[in-house]
Amino acid sequence: MDKKPEVVIFPKNPSKTYGLMELIRTRSFQIEKGPDNTVTSWPHLLFREMILFMFVFIVLMIISILFNAPLEEQANPSNTPNPAKSPWYFLGLQEMLSWAHPFWGGIFAPTVVTIILILAPYFDRSQKGVGVWFAPERKIANLLFTILVVLAVGLIVIGEFFRGPNWQLFWPWNMPSPH
Amino acid sequence: MKKKNTIADLLFNNRFWKSVFRHDYPDNDLSRSEAMTSNLFLHIQSVKVHTNTIRPGYTLGLGLISFYLFIILTITGVLLMFYYIPSIERAYNDMKDLEFAVSYGIILRNLHRWGAHGMVAFVFFHMCRVFYTGGYKQPREFNWGIGIVLLILTLFLSLTGYLLPWDQLAFWAITIVANLIGTSPPESILGASLRYIVVGGREVGQNALIRFYVMHVIVLPLVAAVLIGVHFWRIRKDGGISRPAEE
Ligand code: HEM
């Protein structure tokens, strides 16, 4: 194994008899260390994580006290609701089912999108703009992804709010009540 | 450590504390690093993190919120299992009992239901955050892929749970999804047999219920938990959360 070359953090100028140093306020030895923009995980990260947990739990608790989960009539195979809808996160798929042979919208499209997403980092390889929200260097990638997000969310919204009996389009305020 | 006779000393500076945590109360850099390295649950995180990692505006905490919802769902899910029997004769009545007979049963059910919807949403938001900050790029390509699998697992966890109340909503939603699976070509061979495997018969009934139940309470959560473990381990191996290149 090669020995790692020793990293000199503050190189000494050989024509000078003094080195660079500074007094800083800290709780441990900082000799031969450069500034590194890190903090100890305890308490800085851990406390934030704990506070976030409490926040998540309290908000979920408040929602659960205020709103009851839906429960309709007992399942009845001989009574088909019109329209029958899948859970909201699959409504985009169900919406596409009504356009062409169900295979294209229901199986082909999601499979292709999944494969593209998994492979994306292997094609989009520039390191420019990493670590920055909406970096201008990444305009095209961000635009393509946004189109995908808008499509996914848009189809769900149509399926949830604009589709009524017989999967016809209705305005949400004109939606006939089921059965 | 010197005893100072404060309340903090009484709580943290004693043999019991030390027997549990194996180090002093973490108030200096040495014991703070021990707090991380000597704890089974914390040592998946490094002793020190970059300041960008704890900047709330960067991650928005979305991955962590997804994880917390997963934990809450696991706990409330186990409690729900005490009251729920996956039989088409009993399942629906068990839901009614949770609402009207079990103390705080309705809260338990609501936590699980809204938590599940929340998890689907937050995993999706988390994916958007990772994309818009370029967090999927080298060396994090593989963790992005694990993430996609986690998103799919989350969707299937939600879907399999959706059938369990055995009400009209559940029955017809799953019937639609089953029919969708049935359209995989060639329909008469692959589609039909896939649908048969998922539903356990021709129609959604008792066989479908027990299949969805087993997937929902054992198989999918187990796979998800393992993959979440790998996901977190990879975050650390990939050098922590992504951040802007330093000057
Ligand atoms: C069960 C679902 C998931 C859980 C519990 C989870 C959890 C986490 C957590 C806690 C982090 C640390 C940073 C943060 O909080 O944002 C993280 C980072 C990350 N996640 Fe996830 N995640 C999940 C799903 C996903 C999905 C769907 C994707 C993408 C398709 C993904 C890709 C990533 C990547 C690439 C990182 C590193 C990001 C960076 O370094 O900036 N994860 N995940």
- If 0-12 CB within 10 Å is exposed, 13-18 middle and 19+ buried, where does residue B49 land? buried
Adjacent-strand bridge partners of B50: A38
Among all chains, which residue has been given the structure tokens 């859970």?
A87
A86 closest CB neighbour out of B140, B173, B242: B173
How far is it, in rounded angstroms, from Cα B141 to Cα A117? Answer: 10
Collapsing DSSP to helix, strand or coil, B184 comes out as coil
The residue-averaged pLDDT of B7-31 equals: 86
Q: Which residue has the higher pLDDT, B215 or B182?
A: B215
Least reliable range by pLDDT among A1-5, A65-69, B27-31, B177-181? A1-5
Q: SS3 for A54-106, per residue?
A: HHHHHHHHHHHHHCCCCCCCECCCCCCCCCCCCCHHHHHHHHHHCCCCHHHHH
Q: Is residue A24 over pLDDT 80?
A: no
A73 closest CB neighbour out of B162, B168, B180: B168
Q: What is the mean pLDDT of chain B?
A: 93
* Longest CA span, chain B: 79
Q: Is residue A27 over pLDDT 70?
A: no
Q: Is residue A5 over pLDDT 80?
A: no
Split at pLDDT 50, 70, 90, the class of A33 is: low
Model confidence pLDDT, tens digit, residues A125-146: 999 999 999 999 999 999 999 9
CA distances from A152 to A22, A120, A147, A155, B64 (A): 55, 18, 9, 6, 23
Q: Which residue has the higher pLDDT, B26 or B120?
A: B120
- Asked if residue A94 belongs to a domain, the reply is yes
Residues 6+ apart with CB under 8 A from B193: none
The residue-averaged pLDDT of A79-107 equals: 88
- Asked if residue A144 belongs to a domain, the reply is yes
The residue-averaged pLDDT of B113-129 equals: 98
CB-ligand 1 contact for B165 (6 Å cutoff): no
Which residues of chain B neighbour A64 with C-beta distances below 8 Å?
Answer: 107, 110-111, 114
Neighbours of B158 (CB within 10 A): 21
Q: Is residue B67 over pLDDT 70?
A: yes
Q: And the tokens for B90? A: 């009993």
Q: Is residue B128 over pLDDT 80?
A: yes
Query: Looking at residue B56, what is its pLDDT?
Result: 92
- Asked if residue A92 belongs to a domain, the reply is yes
> What domain range is A110 assigned to?
88-125+134-174
Pairing verdict, β A38-40 and B48-50: antiparallel
- Asked if residue A29 belongs to a domain, the reply is no
Percentage of chain A modeled with pLDDT above 70: 85
Distance, CA B221 to ligand 1 centroid (Å)? 17
Q: Compute the C-alpha angle A84/B106/B206, nearest 5°.
A: 50
CA distances from B129 to A80, A132, A151, B63, B136 (A): 40, 10, 17, 9, 10
Q: Is residue A11 over pLDDT 80?
A: no
B61-237 is classed in which CATH architecture? Up-down Bundle (1.20)
| CA of residue B134 relative to chain centroid, distance | 24
Query: Looking at residue B76, what is its pLDDT?
Result: 98
Query: Looking at residue A12, what is its pLDDT?
Result: 72
Residues 6+ apart with CB under 8 A from B29: A26, A27, A28, A40
Q: B94: part of which helix (H) or strand (E)?
A: helix B91-100
Q: Is residue B98 over pLDDT 80?
A: yes
Q: Is residue A100 over pLDDT 90?
A: no
Split at pLDDT 50, 70, 90, the class of A66 is: very high
Please choose, from the candidates B198, B208, B215, the residue with its C-alpha nearest in 3D space to the C-alpha of residue B171: B208
Least reliable range by pLDDT among A36-40, B169-173, B236-240? A36-40
Which residues of chain B neighbour A103 with C-beta distances below 8 Å?
Answer: 183-185
The answer to whether the CB of B220 falls within 8 A of the CB of B228 is no
Q: Is residue A179 over pLDDT 60?
A: no
Split at pLDDT 50, 70, 90, the class of A65 is: very high
Q: Which residue has the higher pLDDT, B147 or A30?
A: B147
Distance, CA A133 to ligand 1 centroid (Å)? 16
Q: What are the residue ranges spanned by the domains of chain B? A: 61-237
How far is it, in rounded angstroms, from Cα B99 to Cα B92? Answer: 11
Burial readout B210-232 (b: 16 or more C-beta within 10 A, e: otherwise): ebbbebbbeebbebbeeebeebe
Query: Looking at residue B240, what is its pLDDT?
Result: 93
- Asked if residue A102 belongs to a domain, the reply is yes
Q: How many structural domains is chain A composed of? A: 1
CB-ligand 1 contact for B151 (6 Å cutoff): yes
pTM of the model: 0.91
Query: Looking at residue A166, what is its pLDDT?
Result: 87
How far is it, in rounded angstroms, from Cα B138 to Cα B83? Answer: 47
Model confidence pLDDT, tens digit, residues B202-226: 899 999 999 999 999 999 999 999 9
Q: Number of Cβ pairs closer than 8 Å across A and B?
A: 215
CB-ligand 1 contact for B66 (6 Å cutoff): yes
